[in-house]
Amino acid sequence: MVQPRFYFLSDEDLLQVLGTSDPRAIQPHLLKLFDNCKELTFGPGQSTKQITHMKSDEGECYQFENIVKPEGNIEDWMCRLDEEMKKTLHVFCKKAVYYYAKQDRVEWILAPEQIGMVALVGS
């Protein structure tokens, strides 16, 4: 499977990403590959066997519903990562719409688990 997001990288960056087996090598290129995704959290500790969180350029962080394992070809696990990002945000949006009717609006927006994009969609 081809990872279409690789088209956003220069040839030099693409070679750097594809030429390593370390999943963390993708970190400097995330903003070019995913909209407003600045950093991935590998865990626990410094383990590169799991991707657990995503952090935006504004510092908002959210935990994936399911851990993504960066195993196999990079284009394969990046497709799984992309799908997990979408799936997790979909779940967050469903929860936000559900709780929107049950809480005071200001309380709902300022809730610590609320991320900006989801507050906008839920509103």
Domains annotated for the chain, with CATH where assigned, are 4-122 (3.20.180.20)
Q: Give the model confidence (pLDDT) of 38-90 as tens digits.
A: 999 998 766 678 999 999 888 888 999 999 999 888 888 888 999 999 999 89
Residue 45 has what pLDDT? 66
The whole model's pTM is what? 0.82
Task: Round the average pLDDT of the chain to a whole number and report it.
Answer: 85
Residue 2: is its pLDDT beyond 60?
A: no
- The Cα 106–Cα 48 span in angstroms is 38
Residue 7: Cβ-neighbour burial (10 angstroms; 0-12, 13-18, 19+): exposed
Please compute the mean of the pLDDT values over residues 15-40 and round it to a whole number. Answer: 88
